[in-house]
Amino acid sequence: MTAPHTPRLAAEVADYYTRRFDEHARLSASAPGVLELVRTQELLRRHLPAGPASVLDVGGGPGAHACWLTADGYQVHLVDPVERHVAQAAEAGCSAELGDARALSAADSSYDVALLLGPLYHLPEPSDRQRALAEAMRVVRPGGLVVAAGIQRFAPLFDNAGHARLHLDECETRTARVLAKGVNDGKLFTSAYFHRVEDLERELRESGLAEVCAYGVEGPGEALLKAAEVATGRRVPVESDLFRSALVAARTAEPHPELRVTSSHLLAFGWRPGQAATS
Ligand SMILES: C[S@@+](CC[C@H](N)C(=O)[O-])C[C@H]1O[C@@H](n2cnc3c(N)ncnc32)[C@H](O)[C@@H]1O
């Protein structure tokens, strides 16, 4: 009998997170990072079943979400393919293992919730994203919840404008390419796929998940925070009026689905059919 196929993490993704970028402080070191964290927390807390439910945090990185979910009373286990992340998560007190979203070691129907807050955009091939979603759906119980993050297709437009570099020829050309095809080259990030809202929802539905709905995470104020930090070289304080306004902007935009394109990240929720949804 042949051994089950173990997918290989792209070398550039391993290199990015091991040598080029420390994911550890991404959600705490800048105002846009904190905005992403606060909004992700409020969307997850709104949809997750009450604790103590079990959560598999796939692509959980150094444990930013696993830590607060554990503090909220959830039983969280984290999986990530980058050794540095698994070591950082374990150091932060998380239960963590090395693994890939496309071939999870968890048993069928063994979790209440599976989070995929990272793997999908790092998998440019549609078949790899399908495998990751199929695996997430396999490991949650019937009626369980799968939550998947996507980088929103038009995010580079706001991001590069906020970083005051969109007018540079190379950046403008690269941004236009991403907007047209959704495929990011590895220059500022890794090779990646940036979803249109409807594509992310469709991918979840095609994997068999029900009642699928995608939210914009950061809303239209994030680019302003970024621009302020780039222009001043200083962090925008969380207590500032600018940060508070950006947070209110994200919440105010939420009932207007057409404004999801103003967020850098999308958070899509879908339930495995089989028993009443838990939202
Ligand atoms: C930007 S980080 C997000 C970390 C964390 N989930 C969060 O939301 O802050 C993306 C994560 O996806 C992980 N990742 C990349 N490819 C993956 C794959 N094939 N399977 C599982 N995780 C993957 C990376 O190692 C990294 O930890």
Decide whether any atom of ligand 1 lies within 6 Å of the 146 Cβ. no
pLDDT for residue 126 is more than 60: yes
- Nearest protein CA to atom 13 of ligand 1, as residue: 59
The structure tokens 């902007």 sit at 249
Average pLDDT over residues 153-160: 94
State which fold the 11-271 domain adopts.
Rossmann fold (3.40.50)
The preferred substitution site among 80, 113, 128 for testing ligand 1, maximizing ligand atoms within 8 Å of CB, is 80
pLDDT for residue 1 is more than 50: no
Q: Is the pTM of this model over 0.85?
A: yes
Reported as a single tens digit per residue, the pLDDT across 11-56 is 999 999 999 999 999 999 999 999 999 999 999 999 999 989 999 9
Question: Residue 278: its pLDDT value, please?
Answer: 47
pLDDT for residue 9 is more than 90: yes
Q: Is the dihedral of CA 183, 213, 131, 127 positive or negative?
A: negative
Which residues, other chains included, contact 22 with Cβ-Cβ below 8 Å and sequence gap of 6+?
Answer: none
pLDDT for residue 239 is more than 50: yes
Q: Of the candidates 237, 257, 234, 235, which has an alpha carbon nearest to the alpha carbon of residue 247?
A: 237
Residue 37 alpha carbon to ligand 1 centre in Å = 15
Which residues, other chains included, contact 201 with Cβ-Cβ below 8 Å and sequence gap of 6+?
Answer: 212, 213, 214, 268
Decide whether any atom of ligand 1 lies within 6 Å of the 80 Cβ. yes
Residue 45 alpha carbon to ligand 1 centre in Å = 20
Distance from C-alpha of 176 to C-alpha of 245, rounded to nearest angstrom? 29
Question: Residue 277: its pLDDT value, please?
Answer: 45
Distance from C-alpha of 34 to C-alpha of 54, rounded to nearest angstrom? 25
Reported as a single tens digit per residue, the pLDDT across 68-123 is 999 999 999 999 999 999 999 999 999 999 999 999 999 999 999 999 999 999 99
Reported as a single tens digit per residue, the pLDDT across 162-190 is 999 999 988 899 899 999 999 988 788 99
Report which secondary-structure segment, H or E, holds 246. helix 241-253
Decide whether any atom of ligand 1 lies within 6 Å of the 59 Cβ. yes
Residue 189 alpha carbon to ligand 1 centre in Å = 13
Domain residue ranges of the chain, discontinuous segments joined by +: 11-271
Question: Residue 187: its pLDDT value, please?
Answer: 80
The preferred substitution site among 5, 13, 113, 128 for testing ligand 1, maximizing ligand atoms within 8 Å of CB, is 13
Question: Residue 180: its pLDDT value, please?
Answer: 92
Residue 221 alpha carbon to ligand 1 centre in Å = 25
Reported as a single tens digit per residue, the pLDDT across 252-278 is 999 999 999 999 999 999 999 997 544
Q: Are 27 and 36 in contact (CB under 8 A)?
A: yes
Q: Which atom of ligand 1 is nearest to the CA of 101?
A: 20
CA within 13 Å, CB half, 146? 34
In the chain, % helix, strand, coil (3-state, to 5) comes to: 45, 20, 35
Distance from C-alpha of 120 to C-alpha of 38, rounded to nearest angstrom? 21
Question: Residue 58: its pLDDT value, please?
Answer: 98
Residue 59 alpha carbon to ligand 1 centre in Å = 4
The structure tokens 């029900």 sit at 210
Residue 169 alpha carbon to ligand 1 centre in Å = 30
Q: Encoding tokens for residue 212?
A: 């699928």
Average pLDDT over residues 207-215: 98
Distance from C-alpha of 222 to C-alpha of 159, rounded to nearest angstrom? 9
Q: Which atom of ligand 1 is nearest to the CA of 59?
A: 22
